[in-house]
Amino acid sequence: IVIATDSECVVYGVTAWLRNWAARDWRTSGRTRVQNRDLWEKLSERMGMLAENGCEVSFWRILRVWNVEADQAANVAAERAGSVAGYMETDGVLV
């Protein structure tokens, strides 16, 4: 899975800072509390689950203009699709 984002915080947070934060009891190198700790923990947990099932997750930092274009394309696709008939969260492995 490739997550492409223009957010430097997300890319560095996942690839460089997350392990250090957890090791320092969720404090930054400046000893302040990590913001949105609950979200970082959920992301880390989900990535761990995926890794256990052989799925690699990569985070790519992309240009802002590409992210804007992707948002626009996603909105157009969502409008074309109409309303969602139902939603069910699923977890599993595709073999």
Mean pLDDT of the chain: 90
62: number of Cβ within 10 Å: 14
% of the chain residues with pLDDT over 70: 88
How high is the pLDDT of residue 7? 94
Q: pLDDT band at 92, cuts 50/70/90? A: low
HSE-CB at 86 with a 13 A cutoff on CA atoms is: 2
Q: Model-level pTM?
A: 0.72
Domains in the chain (CATH in brackets) are: 2-65 (3.30.420.10)
**26-59 pLDDT tens trace:** 999 999 999 999 999 999 999 999 999 999 999 9
